Structure 1
Amino acid sequence: MSFSLVQSLDPLPMHGRDLGVNPDDLVEPPEMEHEAKQEILENKDVVVQHVNIQGLGRTKEDLLGYEISDVFHAKNLIDVMKKAHVARQKLLRLGIFKEVEVLIDTSDGTDALPNGLDVTFEVTEIKRLTGSYNTMVGNNEGSMVLGLKLPNMLGRAEKLTFQFSYGTKETSYGLSFFKPQPGHFERNLTLNMYKVTGQFPWSSLKETDRGMSAEVNFPLGMTNHTLKWEGVWRELGCLARSASFAVREESGHSLKSALSHTVSVDSRNSAIFPNRGALLRINQVSANDVNTVLSASLWGGMLYPLGGQPSCIADRFYLGGPTSVRGFGMYSIGPQSEGDYLGGEAYWAGGLHLYTPLPFRPGKGGFGDLFRTHFFLNAGNLCNLNYGDGPRAHLQKLAECIRWSYGAGIVLRLGNIARLELNYCVPMGVQSGDRYTVFL
């Protein structure tokens, strides 16, 4: 199936002659006219008369019109090629085509202009149903992930995804529906329903969450915004008979409703190994130079219970581990009861990281470029606050007993979605009850 966008009401041909010249055909007199026409098109303005898309099945025509409309505005051959390339990238970004090929021809037919061009996109749609299977290892946990996806479900780049994950500490499944705005893919809506069962041995706690969420993403100027609402039915229980009384009294059912807003500015050239640009996300920022990458980050939070009620253990902040303060056990910093970590109502954490190529550059230009040396300095603190003391007392308490660490290691990039670290850490400022480790 195919459709055509044209600039006139008359029926126009789907194909024209190839813009390239075949040397075997130069002996034929009619092709001399074609050669002359090509020379004219290369040196003068052109008019794109038709934009055709071939290979459509379940995709709605109006969706693609937004993505390819700029091709009609091209004024010369180079501009046509550039705008056609941009349109191809937009079509691939929709996630509904496996392949997109572009063919630029001279216009043919009784109404063809001397400087007219036809642009044809040949597309191959993704299957109606796709599946995936993979294993993940991280944070001392392994998991198996199964997924099913219905891309282009209703013909306008909608996507329905089901995912099941079974791990040593967490089991989850969820259903997600993604809907972009036609012509503005970065403006989209995501609806989720899920169930997550997790174990948190540092707190002798197990938690089952059943929830739903709605998320809206949209750009505003140079920033990207995310508005999200989430409603969760939580069930907390003890992971072991030895759980402390402070954890046992948190057990039971509760409902949580949350509304969040995230604003970010990201000009990095890569999400895994950036070497230029910057990322700003609420209170987090990283900046990079060309040869080495220096990344700085600072983040924090404060939980204020309403109505004089104590905060729930599942809502509190936790600190420690490779995602916050390296050298300390996973979420093993701060208040604890009989060996179970209870989290805190206020925290801050920061880090300074330096990434450089491997010394002497072994494997340069190939496998060696997947590795970086890593030097880091992390610090942070987590505690509970007496909200009647005032801001100065709060800051003083957060500045007491700061945990920090430094070290070095090797980072391996896994594709363009994840990385694997092996670090030697030196934990400092260790307090009674904190767990720490040297290798991470």
Structure 2
Amino acid sequence: MADPVDSGDELFESLRKIDLKKEEEKAKELARKEAEHNAKAQQRLAELIGTNSTLLVTISSIRLIGGAHTRRSFLDRLFNPLLSANRDRPYTLAEALNEVGSVATKLQRFDIFHPEVHTFIDRPSPTDPSSTVTDIDIFLQARERGRISLKTGTDLGNVEGSAYGNLTWRNIFGGAESLTLNASAGTRTRSAYQATFDAPVLSDPDTRATIDVLASSTLKPWASHEEVLKGAGAKFSWATKSGTRHQLGYTGVWRQITGLQSNASPTVRHDAGDTVKSSITHTWLADRRNHPFLPSRGYLVKTISELAGWGPLQGDVAFWKSEVETSGAVAIPIPGIKGDSGVSFTAGLRAGVLYPLAVGLGSETKHSRINDRFQLGGPTDVRGFKISGLGPRDGPDAVGGDIYAAGSANLLIPFPRVGKDMPLRLQLFANAGRLLALKDKKTSSESVYSTVAQLGDGIPSVAAGVGVVYAHPVARFELNFSLPLVMRRGEEGRKGLQFGVGINFL
């Protein structure tokens, strides 16, 4: 016979579960009714706007609710251009809502508010009842993000594992300024520290000024040394009306090639020691792809130009360095599948040249140094080769080159039973590349011309393979099985599995 106390406990526990279940059902029903109410309200609002889209309105005020730490002068630069007092004609209701929506989008892009920014419209008491123009007040409701955030974690990719810490202080002075402190330590990047202060200019999320300070120590086993960097820089970036982006920056950095291995080549030993690089850099970007890591249509064009040690820049090294990158993607229709099939073809091309300059007036032009030259090969550019596996070598060391060209072709196919909406693809690829050092000529221009001509002399190094691609929101992951098909003497291929993580793949 059951203990009456135990039976009573079981009864009360059963009743409690029944009550909880009823409360859960009530909560679900309330949530469903609220969702239906919101959907109907949105539908009524859309119908109301549709029938009154040509109604003439003036915006008398715009206010932000929830911006306690955002200063008024910062918001005035956003809001004042929309006020009808600063315009020579009234809006239509559709125009007013479109302009307010643009401002709400800008607020989201400053990264100081949560993504949801709600818009409310109020009509104050009319001062002129006979007027055919409606006066409205705009209220934007937002919720500020936490001003300080701390992240720690680990990274694994490109044959390196690391641990990192990141501290961000947002909206420091109430104008979307931010200070970011990064620290990391890993198997290849032994230590890296960086402090970056970033601020929008004139309340424009597309125009920004940045100042950064960095210190790092990185092992470079492919060239038998360790590189230590300490420096600072300043950047100014902006966007044009066509959507292209520019960045102009200055960097001053002290570099040290140290920690040479016992078998380091004469080239590495010759370049060991300290140098100071003082350079200005310009980056131009036009990105028309529909996805940064898994595009199915669109194109990208990017150029990077750097001038170091010339004229007033000073420093121990002088050169002109330029790179260009292009890529395009097209969707491939499949018979029997309506709309986007998820199958796409992408192709990319990169090329670069380093042109040595004289450090001072009257001095001779010197050969480039190993820490300024291009490196080619690895899971994020020419797959099927080891990191820096292509190009000139001196004994066991990859010493880099002054001119290169590389290209790839990729066919991306959705996995069966996974679907095209998942960021997971099967990849078939073929890529090729060639990296050369400048030939010794009477002048640097003759050397560049003859070396560029040599790029087309013979077949480049080629590899092909199959792999899996996963497009995470912050990076692209690839696991490929690669097979080198063409290699030159001394180059290092990578037959078998190769794992890569990055934001910029060839």
- Secondary structure of residue in 1 paired with 2:368: coil
1:98 and 2:114 matched? yes
Separation (CA, whole Å) in 1 of partners of 2:53 and 2:389? 67
1:418 and 2:475 matched? yes
Shift of 1:178: 0.7
Separation (CA, whole Å) in 2 of partners of 1:226 and 1:375? 32
TM-score by length of 1: 0.83
Within a 5 Å distance, the mapping from 1:137-148 to structure 2 comes to: 137-148=156-167
The partner residue of 1:258 within 279, 287, 293 is 279
Shift of 1:107: 1.4
The partner residue of 1:357 within 413, 416, 422 is 413
Partner of 2:328: 287
Within a 5 Å distance, the mapping from 1:65-76 to structure 2 comes to: 65-69=76-80, 71-72=82-83, 75-76=91-92
Cα 1:53–1:198 change in 2 (3 A) is: same
Larger mean Cα displacement after TM superposition, 195-204 or 105-114: 105-114
Shift of 1:77: 3.4
Separation (CA, whole Å) in 1 of partners of 2:466 and 2:299? 23
**RMSD of aligned alpha carbons:** 2.7
Shift of 1:379: 2.2
1:161 and 2:180 matched? yes
- Secondary structure of residue in 2 paired with 1:247: helix
- Secondary structure of residue in 2 paired with 1:89: helix
Within a 5 Å distance, the mapping from 1:48-67 to structure 2 comes to: 48-67=59-78
Cα 1:110–1:398 change in 2 (3 A) is: closer
- Tell me which amino acid in the other structure corresponds to 1:46: V
Contact 2:377 2:387 in 1 (8 A): yes
- Secondary structure of residue in 2 paired with 1:157: coil
Contact 1:372 1:412 in 2 (8 A): no
1:427 and 2:473 matched? no
The number of residue pairs the alignment matches comes to: 402
Shift of 1:390: 4.8
Within a 5 Å distance, the mapping from 1:373-388 to structure 2 comes to: 373-388=427-442
Contact 2:355 2:448 in 1 (8 A): no
Partner of 1:80: 96
Contact 2:423 2:470 in 1 (8 A): no
Separation (CA, whole Å) in 2 of partners of 1:377 and 1:245? 31
Structure 1: tracts of 5 or more residues without a match? 1-20, 23-36
Contact 2:403 2:451 in 1 (8 A): no
1:318 and 2:375 matched? yes
Indicate the percent of aligned positions where both proteins have the same amino acid: 25
Larger mean Cα displacement after TM superposition, 387-396 or 140-149: 387-396
Separation (CA, whole Å) in 2 of partners of 1:429 and 1:38? 64
The partner residue of 2:225 within 184, 189, 205 is 205
Separation (CA, whole Å) in 2 of partners of 1:106 and 1:38? 14
Within a 5 Å distance, the mapping from 1:291-302 to structure 2 comes to: 291=332, 292-302=344-354
Separation (CA, whole Å) in 2 of partners of 1:38 and 1:91? 23
Larger mean Cα displacement after TM superposition, 378-387 or 264-273: 378-387
Shift of 1:353: 2.3
Separation (CA, whole Å) in 2 of partners of 1:139 and 1:38? 53
Cα 1:436–1:309 change in 2 (3 A) is: same
Contact 1:381 1:399 in 2 (8 A): no
TM-score by length of 2: 0.73
The partner residue of 2:139 within 103, 109, 120 is 120
Cα 1:101–1:310 change in 2 (3 A) is: closer
Cα 1:392–1:55 change in 2 (3 A) is: closer
Contact 1:318 1:382 in 2 (8 A): no
1:244 and 2:265 matched? yes
